[in-house]
Amino acid sequence: MKEKIAQGAEAVLWRDDGILVKERGKKGYRIAKLDARLRKQRTEHEATLLNVARRAGVCTPQVIEIGDTTLKMEWIDGKLVRETLNDDNCEDVGRKIGTAIGKMHTYDVIHGDLTTSNMIIRNDDVCFVDFGLGFQSPKIEDKAVDLYLLYHAIESTHWGVLDRVWSVILDGYRTKFVDADKVIKTLSEIEKRGRYRHR
């Protein structure tokens, strides 16, 4: 039975017999031909990122079928990290998050929307979903921005465990990505620029 899960700015998510269907809707403000091409490109691009991240050893939904504007994926049955991260599990979960991001960055996968709402705990693993804003890039700055977004997402939703979880995220990240220290240094520079702009 088809069940609507979420409606975003870009797509609608459906659950259909254990499959997650992501359907990119038409944008009336765009020329129809251009709109169709963009939706097709973004659908194919997201499927590519999911597959590359899986090859890197990261838990992501397995791509089942790619349509022009529809992506069918494995349904990840578990609980959102946003709903489950706490004092007791933050170090274990944080380390898993960090190692997974390190693997993705080794393959130049930039998630683009690293929040605890896009991570699902399944069994003993942390699975990453929704690569709709992602891209591939070898740039240290892009990887630092990926971490910057994650830090501020955790700060806004899990501030009580922020220091502990962030420390182990970076520890895990360093174990899997050879240029981790360069990224973390750049992250510090981005933070300084951000503080300066907000004054």
Catalytic residue (choose from 17, 87, 113, 130): 113
Confidence at residue 79, expressed as pLDDT on a 0 to 100 scale: 96
Q: Are residues 63 and 132 in the same domain?
A: no
SS (H, E, C) the chain: CEEEEEECCCEEEEEECCEEEEEECCCCCCCHHHHHHHHHHHHHHHHHHHHHHHHCCCECCCEEEECCCEEEEECCCCEEHHHHCCCCCHHHHHHHHHHHHHHHHHCCEECCCCCHHHEEEECCEEEECCCCCCEECCCHHHHHHHHHHHHHHHHHHCHHHHHHHHHHHHHHHHHHCCCHHHHHHHHHHHHHHHHHHCC
* pTM for the full predicted model: 0.92
CATH number of the domain where residue 176 is located: 1.10.510.10
Q: Which of 74, 100, 119 is the last residue of a domain?
A: 74
Q: How many domains does the chain have?
A: 2
Residue 163 structural domain: 79-197
User: What are the tokens at 5?
Assistant: 């899960």
Q: Are residues 177 and 96 in the same domain?
A: yes
Confidence at residue 197, expressed as pLDDT on a 0 to 100 scale: 46
Spatial separation of the C-alpha atoms in residues 126 and 81, rounded to whole Å: 8
Confidence at residue 199, expressed as pLDDT on a 0 to 100 scale: 34
Local confidence pLDDT in tens for the 199 residues of the chain: 778 888 877 889 999 888 999 998 777 677 888 888 988 999 999 999 999 999 999 999 999 999 999 999 999 999 999 999 999 999 999 999 999 999 999 999 999 999 999 999 999 999 999 999 999 999 999 999 999 999 999 999 999 999 999 999 999 999 999 999 999 999 999 988 865 443 3
Measure the CA angle with vertex 48, ends 46 and 50; round to 5°. Answer: 70
Q: Are residues 28 and 115 in the same domain?
A: no
Confidence at residue 176, expressed as pLDDT on a 0 to 100 scale: 98
Q: Which of 24, 57, 74 is the last residue of a domain?
A: 74
- Tokens 């791509």 identify what position? 63
Spatial separation of the C-alpha atoms in residues 28 and 32, rounded to whole Å: 8
- Clarify whether 77 is annotated catalytic: no
At 135, which amino acid appears? F
Q: Are residues 152 and 60 in the same domain?
A: no
Confidence at residue 28, expressed as pLDDT on a 0 to 100 scale: 64
User: What are the tokens at 16?
Assistant: 């259909």
Q: Are residues 25 and 6 in the same domain?
A: yes
